[in-house]
Structure 1
């Protein structure tokens, strides 16, 4: 009997390639700060967590960046720099997901935000016959819609409840170890995917071992 029934996919670094350094570089160019200064501001600012939880608006997020990075930039310039981290979606990953859907419930759980949601759906629809991730996956859950974010265990429990999945029947893939550790404490099977490294070989091996 198949033990795993649901596969939970992180988005950035697992499905779509992620290059945070490109956003740091873009904001450095906009602000005149060094990349190190921008990175320190990025890592220390609580605004990113609030934005990923949907607790502030797009405009409030942009204005916060203007203050913290001393930016005199338009909304479009800020969005362009913010979206710079979003890379390509390799076709083999889409094909793997389509194949996995035949035997597993496949869902997305992503820490993301409204600006990035628009951007990665543009990337998706430009290369594949899908307007939204929900056209490809059985279910899609974004942190800014749920007002919760990884690695808080409440978001995992919420997604398990919404997808009607038992923790022991779920396998969660993410490129962030802290997210995986939190999920594992709840009995969810986990698999670390090296950022942008592709998931199918590691996933097939993991499934064969469970």
Structure 2
């Protein structure tokens, strides 16, 4: 397989995400059920603005309080928010280390400053990001997936034609946006699919 550059998603592809833990923490503090919070939460304009760095976390939590119908201390908003973030999948570090020696690796993640600061404090995360030539964070570049122009912007900054970039993501909408921008894509639904793809490249 002739791959010139690989662009990875982060959450759900390289690290585990555990959204249930977010609602469990907030629900315990607010004395409500996690399911009631999960039913009310949604990816809305405020969420997207937060991921593009346009809305600070404290402002977003005020919005969340109204959306979810709860009022909890600022520290608990942040503790619950960061509970989303799991550990890198076991296969990631060894395979990326080997793959990075033969193919340029990049990362494009829809994330926010609070989550990224939490990840940066972890030793294994610092090792993970060291494998990438550059990491594109939605809150830092003011662009988020699946906007087609976000992929075109990233491709230009990477210095590759879209057709020369292989993009891996677990979200179908993000895959569709990348395809519209001209990327080669792999919809990786689950860790084993990622393992199989990386092993194919390393064969």
Taking structure 1 as the reference length, the TM-score comes to 0.86
Partner residue of 2:162 out of 143, 163, 167: 167
RMSD of aligned residue pairs (Cα, Å): 2.2
Partner residue of 1:201 out of 185, 196, 203: 196
Unaligned runs of 5+ in 2: none
Task: State how far apart, in whole Å, the 2-side matches of 1:197 and 1:77 are.
Answer: 34
Partner residue of 1:138 out of 133, 143, 159: 133
Question: How far does residue 76 in structure 1 lie from its aligned partner after superposition?
Answer: 1.7
Partner residue of 1:157 out of 152, 155, 163: 152
What pairs up with 1:70-109 in 2 under 5 angstroms? 70-109=69-108
Residue aligning to 2:58: 59
- The structure-2 alpha-carbon separation of the partners of 1:27 and 1:40, relative to structure 1 and needing over 3 Å to count, comes to same
Of residues 179-188 and 43-52 in structure 1, the stretch that sits farther from structure 2 once superposed is: 43-52
Cα shift readout 1:41-75 (whole Å, capped 9, x = no counterpart) = 22254321111111101221122223323333222
Cα shift readout 1:98-146 (whole Å, capped 9, x = no counterpart) = 11111111011000001100112223x1x36x3782x331100000111
Does 1:179 find its partner at 2:161? Answer: no
Task: State how far apart, in whole Å, the 2-side matches of 1:198 and 1:131 are.
Answer: 22
Unaligned runs of 5+ in 1: none
Following superposition, which runs of at least 4 residues in structure 1 exceed 3 angstroms of deviation?
A: 195-198
Of residues 164-173 and 193-202 in structure 1, the stretch that sits farther from structure 2 once superposed is: 193-202
Residue aligning to 1:120: 119
Question: How far does residue 186 in structure 1 lie from its aligned partner after superposition?
Answer: 2.3
Kept in 2, the 8 Å contact 1:151–1:182? The answer is yes
Task: State how far apart, in whole Å, the 2-side matches of 1:92 and 1:46 are.
Answer: 35
Kept in 2, the 8 Å contact 1:30–1:71? The answer is no
Question: How far does residue 197 in structure 1 lie from its aligned partner after superposition?
Answer: 4.3
Question: How far does residue 195 in structure 1 lie from its aligned partner after superposition?
Answer: 3.8
